[in-house]
Amino acid sequence: MVDRIAVSDVHFTEAPEADVRTGLVAWIRCVINESLALDGLCLRRTSKGTYTISFPARRDGRGNQRFFVRPITDEARRQLERQVFERLHLEREAAP
């Protein structure tokens, strides 16, 4: 697999303890392909104990979620997550 996404300049801001209890671990900021800054990505711990990244969104007047930015394929999401996790020295599987 050839990476089409190159992640750099990853910054991690730890979430407050109250948010950590609900699964939010941190906010992430990074640069993609040396040309696009992503801010407001959320590092979350799922109920199964794995890490995942969620992308900033808002709800429209009808209650539909509208993402500001997001990967358009599952492969792109996996590449972004893998590279961010590597730079943060995280394993996808969170420690208990």
What the chain holds in terms of domains, given with CATH numbers, is 7-87 (3.30.1120.40)
Residue 18, Cα to own-chain centre: how many angstroms? 19
pLDDT digits (tens, 9 = 90+) for 12-45: 999 999 999 999 999 999 999 999 999 999 999 9
Exposure string (b/e) for 57-91, b if CB count within 10 Å is 16 or more? eeeeeeeeeeeeeebeeeeebebbbebbbebeebe
pLDDT digits (tens, 9 = 90+) for 40-59: 999 999 999 899 999 999 99
Which residues are paired to 38 by β-bridges?
Answer: 30
Which ranges of the chain does DSSP label H, i.e. alpha helix?
A: 17-20, 74-87
- In single-letter form, the type of residue at position 52 comes to T
